[in-house]
Amino acid sequence: RPAVLNRAMDLFRRFTHGRHRLVVESDPAIGARFRAIDSDSELPLELAELSDGTRAQLLLAVRLAFILGVETELRPPLFLDEALTTTDPARFAAIAGALGEIARDQGRQIFYLTSNPSDTGAWRQALAQRDLPPPQEIDLARVRSLSGAATADALQAPAVPKVPAPG
């Protein structure tokens, strides 16, 4: 198996707290295919049968496996832009904790960009559950001496002038 596939399988298992395993099955009629094994029932599931949240965990695992697989000896930081915003609390904790372990084990920085202050608390809790150091929060509003987040009015794009008629 390619190393990137092994890494994706490991990350998926870690992100789901061992609830799912990714396997490659060989079917003479259609060739090789991916399936997920539910560890509780040991039933194989087509990827389309996974919940949206579990598919999101798989997608993140595959993306990270690819990134980690093409690196050389350098370990650049990983930037995740609200990658966990739509996950439920249990999935958030599983992924954040696994990413914290990766950061610790590889001496890597992980930047998680978010506009949701509760995400910082969720990261703190997930890392604490695994006896990892807390995240370092950088509040850009505070750094820029702003009173807080931008309001919806401040984010309104300026009026665009009308395009004149072709004549």
pLDDT digits (tens, 9 = 90+) for 24-70: 877 778 777 788 888 888 888 888 888 888 888 888 888 888 888 88
**Mean of the pLDDT values across residues 94-98?**
91
CB-facing half-sphere around the CA of 7: CA atoms within 13 A: 16
Largest Cα separation within the chain, whole Å, is 70
Q: What is the mean pLDDT of the chain?
A: 85
Q: How confident is the model at residue 21 (pLDDT cuts 50, 70, 90)?
A: confident
What's the N-to-C CA distance of the chain in angstroms? Answer: 64
Pair of tokens at residue 36: 């997920």
Confidence at residue 113, expressed as pLDDT on a 0 to 100 scale: 92
Tokens of 17: 């707290």
